[in-house]
Amino acid sequence: MKGLFTRNRLIGLVLAAIVAIIDQAVKWYVVGPLALRQVGSIDLLPFFDLTYTENRGVSLGMFQATDMETRWALVLLTAVIALVVLVWMMREKVLADIIGLALILGGAIGNIRDRYDLGYVIDYADFHIGDFRPFLIFNIADAAITIGVLIILARSLFVRDKEETETGDAPRGEPNDA
């Protein structure tokens, strides 16, 4: 257990907690002081509004929780996924991988808390170009999850093979000729 909480992993745990806390704080502000639930929408910039939405589904609004059983099934499913991400993060050593996983974990925790407490996830960030909306309305947790996934994908596609080749290790699945 001595090597479990390395400096990089502790950074990851702290980052995940910070993401979850910021996500929940912004959702509180949007629903509380801004009263976005009652107002509906606030125009901020020509391309960005705050628009209150209750997302009862998961990614891209799929798997809508229309009853209590589905709600709790989604809470359980997303909690299991978050646990898998936590275990994965605690096994990683490279800080960049840990940061990507921490962003995913922190975002998942923020959205799980909403779904557990409210039965839906509060979304409010509405990026648009005129009437064209390249994204669904989202929140900080969603953005953190997306950025974390992009980091993991980029590192797995572009960085790992290069690192293995530079250190003289054979790429995965190929024996060393040495």
Is the C-alpha dihedral spanning 15, 36, 60, 68 positive or negative? positive
Which member of 23, 114, 123, 126 is catalytic?
123
C-alpha count within 13 angstroms, C-beta hemisphere, residue 136: 15
Which member of 97, 114, 126, 142 is catalytic?
142
Active site residue 142: yes
Residues 59/134, Cβ–Cβ less than 8 Å:
no
In this structure, how many other beta carbons lie within 10 angstroms of the beta carbon of residue 45?
8
Active site residue 131: no
Q: Return the active site residues.
A: 123, 142
